[in-house]
Amino acid sequence: MTKYREYFERMITTEKKAFEDFTKLHMKYSLDQDSLQEEFNNGGAKILSIIREWESKLCSQSEKAGFGNYTTNLSEKFMLEVRKSFPLIDYVGVIVKKSIPEKKFGIKKINF
């Protein structure tokens, strides 16, 4: 098993409860993105911090071993592994503004 997959599996098993909750939220969000955006942002912020922490652990191990040039590729592969399980993870933090109903544009007639 490759190192990034190993770290991904370790992350999932170590933070099992958090990822189970996020999986449920992710499924609900995939069905109704408009009304659950704020809840998805709040739940996703915690998961993103966990993901960034494990990504940092993975890359720091490579840098210590003298493979600092390869950490960007390693980080990208790790995030691709995350996106396989959670394809909508990039939507965490999206701010959706409610549209204001458009007013009809009209020109008032001027009488002389």
Burial 66-77 (b: 16+ CB within 10 A, else e): eeeeebeebbeb
For residue 32, what are the CA distances in angstroms to 37, 40, 54, 71? 9, 11, 29, 36
| pLDDT above 90: residue 104 | no
Res 8: pLDDT? 94
> What angle in degrees, to the nearest 10, is found between the helix axes of 33-64 and 71-85?
150
> pLDDT tens across 84-93, in order?
999 999 999 8
- Whether 106 maps to a domain, the answer reads no
Q: How confident is the model at residue 24 (pLDDT cuts 50, 70, 90)?
A: very high
Is there a domain that residue 59 lies in? yes
- Is the pLDDT at 82 greater than 70? The verdict is yes
Q: What pLDDT sits at residue 96?
A: 74
The count of domains in the chain is 1
Inside any domain, residue 31 = yes
- Position 102 scores a pLDDT of 62
Residue 30 and residue 47: Cα distance in Å, rounded? Answer: 17
Please state the rounded mean pLDDT for residues 95-105.
67
In a domain, 45, yes or no: yes
- Which pLDDT belongs to residue 10? 95
- What do you get for the CA distance between the two ends of the chain, in Å? 84
pLDDT mean over 2-14: 92
Long-range Cβ pairs for the range 85-89 (8 Å, 24+)? 85/12, 86/22, 86/23, 86/26, 86/47, 88/26, 88/29, 88/30, 88/33, 88/40, 89/26, 89/44, 89/47, 89/48, 89/51
77 domain residue, yes or no? yes
The whole domain housing 44 covers: 3-89
In a domain, 48, yes or no: yes
